[in-house]
A and B are shown apart, each in its own frame.
Chain A
Amino acid sequence: NAGVMQNPRHLVRRRGQEARLRCSPMKGHSHVYWYRQLPEEGLKFMVYLQKENIIDESGMPKERFSAEFPKEGPSILRIQQVVRGDSAAYFCASSAYSRSGNTIYFGEGSWLTVV
């Protein structure tokens, strides 16, 4: 009964490179959320996706960041031309439904370090 799986757990990128973070939701879950957490800060909402649809990307930076959740395969958070300020922990969460009162389940996170 696997939970939310994220990989890689740790990723080091040089400035200007691309970072791709993957998230496989819990079995049976079709809703995925991405959050960013900086040291000593809370979880910041980035994007909410369902299969093949972006429902809300109001928390995503306008440039360099994109997310997808294809019909087959994991959800991908892509950061192009990374900068030092992108260094953070990126958490993915999933849920089975979109109705109110739902619980979301988190993965263990992907720690991105930009050098």
Chain B
Amino acid sequence: SQKIEQNSEALNIQEGKTATLTCNYTNYSPAYLQWYRQDPGRGPVFLLLIRENEKEKRKERLKVTFDTTLKQSLFHITASQPADSATYLCALESTGNQFYFGTGTSLTVIP
């Protein structure tokens, strides 16, 4: 069965630095990969979608890469701010249009 792994430990970085989160997957060849943000007590919010034929996607301070050979996606937040503190989830879409999520990485940006 498919397995999606994200940084298991919480990530703490200083304000202004770049945060890099990792999503690795096995036994799967998704055509699309998505990233979501989840705040405590709230539902996940969609951030970015990247297709298998796209190496990189950007949106404001966010950048996502997708390496289908390594089966890995990297999620970068540049010039990080305390307001970026949240849990970030990667999600893969199966052939049956279900979405499977990683366990998430908790990010804390320290002022």
Given A42-B89, A100-B32, A101-B49: A106 in contact with B101 (beta carbons within 8 A): no
B: contact size bracket:
20 to 34
**Minimum distance in angstroms from B48 CB to a CB of chain A:** 10
Report whether B43 and A100 are in contact in the complex, using a CB–CB cutoff of 8 Å: no
Interface residues of A in 36-79 (CB under 8 A from B): 41-45, 48, 55-56, 58-59
Which residues of chain A are near B104, meaning CB under 8 Å?
42
Report whether B32 and A101 are in contact in the complex, using a CB–CB cutoff of 8 Å: yes
Complex interface: stretch among B12-20, B55-63, B70-78, B90-98: B90-98
Residue of B nearest to A6 (CB): B43
- Judge if B31 is at the interface, Cβ distance under 8 Å: yes
Residue positions of B touching A, CB distance < 8 A? 4, 31-32, 34, 36, 41-46, 49, 51, 89, 93, 96-104
Residue positions of A touching B, CB distance < 8 A? 4, 31, 33, 35, 41-45, 48, 55-56, 58-59, 91, 93, 98-109
